[in-house]
Structure 1
């Protein structure tokens, strides 16, 4: 079975609480992240919670980006799932982490639908800290089965 896409599951922390609590900034960040990944944005849906927090999804022709924020902890849970050879979820990740001003990213990368020796294979990376823009990328991925 060929892979059905690349799914990045992220825990990002040390983020700017004001950015995480601003629905328009969060919407713009995820929409631009999709654009940077060379994805075609189809629609967006975002909701602002009170007293704080934003959840949203950007539906792309190639799958989706979703986020849930907890400004009070400087934390966001972010998923980036793309299909197709022309999209690059790593570019979306780099942009979003930078715009949220993340100091730490914990990343799980899954090649959806991929099997080795009859078993599904998931790729898992280490915690990323420091200069995220230079450090985040496929070269940081170690295969764990």
Structure 2
């Protein structure tokens, strides 16, 4: 049977380093930031899972989205947070999502890159 082209999948993965941040040990603040970031992106928030490592320690976690995820790993002792925002579909606003997180964490510097992700493969019918 002849293979037919699968519809393309197009995703974007924004990776950001936030410096000069505050509130990085505050689990409630991080949860609020991720929820608002998902809303700003136009994404569907399914759940937020966070782990705080204790007083003065960092937070790690993820906002699970219908369209992928937003994750954070923070180091309050360095005022640093690593952020990943991975969303499929061109309609989502990754920049607005990052802006919410940077504002909530009071970042003084943001270094970012966007990676285009996806496939344009073929699939076989019946296999």
TM-score of the aligned structures, taking structure 2 as reference length: 0.83
**Deviation of residue 9 (structure 1)?**
0.5
1:20 pairs, out of 21, 24, 45, with 24
Using CA pairs below 8 Å that are at least 6 residues apart, which structure has the higher relative contact order?
2
Q: Which of 28, 44, 47 is equivalent to 2:48?
A: 44
Unaligned runs of 5+ in 1: 116-145
Equivalent of 1:73 in 49, 59, 78: 78
Q: How many residues align?
A: 113
**Structure whose alpha-carbon radius of gyration is higher:** 2
CA distance in 1 between counterparts of 2:118 and 2:91 reads: 18
Q: CA deviation at 1:114?
A: 6.7
Match of 1:96 in 2: 101
The 2-side partners of 1:44 and 1:98 are apart by: 19
Secondary structure at 1:39 match in 2: coil
Q: Tell me which residue corresponds to 2:39.
A: 35
Deviates more, 1:46-55 or 1:73-82: 46-55
Mapped pair 1:11 → 2:17? yes
Deviations 1:18-53 (A, max 9, x none): x11100110110111001111000111000003411
Alpha-carbon distance in structure 2 between the residues aligned to 1:114 and 1:103: 36
Q: Secondary structure in 1 aligned to 2:32?
A: helix
Superposed structure 1 runs of 4+ greater than 4 Å apart: none
